[in-house]
Amino acid sequence: MFTNSKSCTSNLLGLIILGMLNLSTCTGQADTNQTFNGDRVAQARHLVGEQLAQDLKTKGLKPGAAIFIRAFKSEQQLEVWIQDSLNFRLFRTYPICRVPGLLGPKRKEGDLQVPEGLYWIEVFNPKSSYHLSMGINYPNASDRILSDPKKPGGEIYIHGNCVSVGCLPITDEKIRELYLLAADARDAGQQQIPVHIFPCRMTSENRQNLLAANQPELLPFWDNLTEAYDFFERKQILPAYTIEPGTGNYVLTQ
């Protein structure tokens, strides 16, 4: 965010006594709201767009290329992968500044859980209460089978700020970059931006030591998610999948 730089240093005491000085006019930088008229995307482009484009170029990646987002709740990390030819390459890892709830999927409105599963971005909100935000398609077809049938919850976002009751906040500074990457990919033709959310990095060690120790009754669900995790880890391409009626399982089709 812009901050006003006030450098009025001469004869302040006399002017204030005379009531002749309006301090709000003594700024070394234009006011953000006036400059961008509340357009936070334009503001983000101004603040980070040039450096973001340079960072992409340095890594041999193109602006507007397809992106893929992975989030890991235990590690509090959100990865951004960018497609280079057929495969995806890791571009950024952002810290998630707060993850409410426990390891395990979201199953009911108000449970404060961050969802776990395979999603995509379905809404962009440039006027979010949390600076900029992107909503995922929770509840998806799997969640509608496995969650509370009447009140599964909803409105799960990746957003700015650092508060959460079930979302993934990455601060205003970081959401500017991620929002631009996603918006540019959308504008270049990526119809669905996938977002895979896991309880942790689904290594064999984590499954044995972390997940089994927390909620062993969820191991079948987590084993199912591991199939998608392992597929991407091996190939750096996105798995195609369907959702099995009745069970809600993700079934890989490639």
Contact between residue 119 and residue 194 where contact means Cβ atoms under 8 Å apart: yes
DSSP secondary structure string for all residues of 117-160: EEEEEEEEEEEETTEEEEEE--S-HHHHHHS-SS------EEES
Query: Of the candidates 198, 222, 162, 250, which has an alpha carbon nearest to the alpha carbon of residue 74?
Result: 198
| CATH number for the domain running over 60-252 | 2.40.440.10
pLDDT at 178 (0 to 100): 98
Determine the Cα–Cα distance for residues 196 and 185; give it in Å rounded to an integer: 17
Half-sphere exposure of 112 (CA within 13 A, CB side): 8
pLDDT at 28 (0 to 100) = 29
- Within 10 Å of residue 175's Cβ, how many Cβ atoms? 27
Query: Can you tell me which residue has the tokens 């482009």?
Result: 45
pLDDT at 35: 63
The pLDDT assigned to 214 comes to 79
Of 56, 250, 78, 51, give the one whose Cα is nearest residue 157.
Answer: 78
Number of H helices, E strands in the chain: 9, 10
Burial class (CB in 10 A: 0-12, 13-18, 19+), 139: buried
Find out whether 107 and 96 touch, Cβ atoms under 8 Å.
Answer: no
Residue 180, both tokens:
């631009």
**Residue 167 DSSP class:** S
Ordered per-residue pLDDT tens for the chain, 254 residues: 333 433 333 333 333 333 333 333 322 233 344 467 789 999 999 999 999 999 999 999 999 999 999 999 999 999 999 999 889 999 999 999 999 999 999 999 999 999 999 999 999 999 999 999 999 999 999 999 999 999 999 999 999 999 988 999 999 999 999 999 999 999 999 999 999 999 999 999 999 899 988 789 999 999 999 999 999 999 999 999 999 999 999 999 98
Query: What residues does each domain of the chain span?
Result: 60-252
pLDDT score recorded for residue 213:
85
Q: What is the pLDDT of residue 167?
A: 96
